[in-house]
Amino acid sequence: MKQVDLLYTGKAKSVYRTDDPEVYIMKFRDDITAFDGEKKDTLGGKGRYNTEVSSFFFRYLEDHGIRTHYLASVEPAVIAVRSLTMIPLEVIVRNVAAGSIVRRYPFREGEPLDPPVIIIDYKSDAHHDPMLNDDLIYALGLATPEELDQIKATALAINELLSEYLDLRGITLVDFKIEFGRYEGEIVVGDEISMDSMRLWDKETGTSLDKDVYRFGKGDVMETYAAVAKRILSPPWGEPA
Ligand code: TYD
């Protein structure tokens, strides 16, 4: 399999076609951005940590019956993925109020959300990613009712799996964002599951272990990413390696 041409470049990843139409190459760059691209930096090693965590979670989800685009590791910050047709939705699941939901609605930061709240944004830079509802999703032709039901059910199933896994490692999954694509008529998880796309709090101290460290200058971003990647990829506390 050979990398051919650049298909798409986003804020932190680039996707390339290969000589196999079923396979794309995804590169996790060291770029980091926040606030709709207003804050930007390049942090050496970031791509590698996000690749390790994303790849691990994709394999973990596959082991639990959830289809993802992950195929194989290629290099430390490069993976091979299935060539999905992406659906331009940002599907966010929230277990605890933080970030935009606190700014926009009368929730207190840290307030548990039980049952979890799903928010779906339209992935469109030109429109600044507005929040959608089911009717808008159908009217815009973004997904059918059957697909949307499956997207929501899968997002909640992923939330259960990730929450439980992280909880055993002393981490609260506050919220996360996932994206889906279509492959041979099926809905498949694409994009990434990393410290850029999840909000993670240390269960004991409440410390941020994710991109909020960068957004709000809460500490050394790369030290945090390295430590949380290690924590996610290690056996739960107390268990021998
Ligand atoms: P949210 O609180 O809506 O946005 P912000 O953190 O910018 O105030 O984010 C909820 C979660 O989803 C958070 O873990 C970050 C993630 N997310 C993305 O990865 N990309 C996005 O475009 C958005 C809106 C959220």
CATH number where 47 lies: 3.30.200.20
137-191 pLDDT, tens per residue?
A: 999 999 999 999 999 999 999 999 999 999 999 999 999 999 999 999 999 999 9
Pocket perturbation via mutation, ligand 1, pick of 92, 101, 128, 211 by most ligand atoms within 8 A of CB: 92
Answer yes or no: is the C-beta of 225 below 6 A from any ligand 1 atom. no
Gap from CA of 180 to ligand 1 centroid (Å): 16
Shared domain for 46 and 153, answered yes or no, is no
Q: Is the domain of 8 the same as that of 107?
A: no
Mean pLDDT, rounded, for 94-116 = 98
Mean pLDDT within 223-232: 98
Region 27-53 average pLDDT: 96
Closest of 31, 29, 40 to residue 6, by C-alpha: 29
pLDDT at 36: 83
Percent of the chain with pLDDT over 70: 98
* Per-residue model confidence (pLDDT) at position 81: 98
Give the SS3 label for residue 224.
helix
Task: Write down the pLDDT at residue 3.
Answer: 87
Rounded-to-integer distance, Cα 221 and Cα 34, Å:
13
Whether 162 and 46 map to the same domain: the answer is: no
Q: Is residue 139 part of a domain?
A: yes
Asked if residue 148 and residue 95 are part of one domain, the reply reads yes
Residues 67 and 102 in one domain: no
Average pLDDT, integer, range 111-136: 97
CA 158/CA 48 separation, integer angstroms: 23
Q: State the pLDDT at residue 240.
A: 57
Q: Pick from 84, 43, 96: which is nearest to 192 by CA? A: 84
Q: Is residue 202 in some structural domain? A: yes
180-195: per-residue pLDDT in tens?
A: 999 999 999 999 999 9
- Cβ atoms of 94 and 175 within 8 Å: the answer is yes
Asked, for residue 241, whether it belongs to a domain, the answer is no
**Domain extent at residue 167:** 86-221
Q: Which atom of ligand 1 is nearest to the CA of 34?
A: 7
Looking at the structure, do residues 95 and 181 belong to the same domain, yes or no? yes
Residues 105 and 28 in one domain: no
Question: Is 121 a member of any domain?
Answer: yes
Domain assignment present for residue 236? The answer is: no
50 and 99 inside one domain:
no
Residue 238's pLDDT is what? 57
Could you give the percent of the chain with pLDDT greater than 90?
95
* Cα(141) to centroid(ligand 1), Å: 24
Q: What is the pLDDT of residue 92?
A: 99
Give yes or no: residues 34 and 139 share one domain.
Answer: no
**Total number of domains constituting the chain:** 2
- Please, what is the average pLDDT of the chain? 96
pLDDT at 241 over 70: no
Q: Residue 192 corresponds to which amino acid?
A: E
So what's the pLDDT on residue 104?
97
Which amino acid does the sequence have at 176?
F
Q: Model confidence at 1, in pLDDT bands (50, 70, 90)?
A: confident
End-of-domain residue from the set 20, 55, 82: 82
Give yes or no for residue 213 having a pLDDT over 70. Answer: yes
Note whether 10 and 104 are same-domain residues. no
Average pLDDT on 28-38 reads: 95
Does residue 105 fall inside a structural domain?
Answer: yes
Query: What is the spatial distance between Cα 147 and Cα 224, in angstroms, rounded to a whole number?
Result: 36
- Of the candidates 50, 82, 114, which is a domain's last residue? 82
Q: What's the whole-number mean pLDDT along residues 52-80?
A: 98
CB of residue 121 inside a 6 A radius of ligand 1? yes
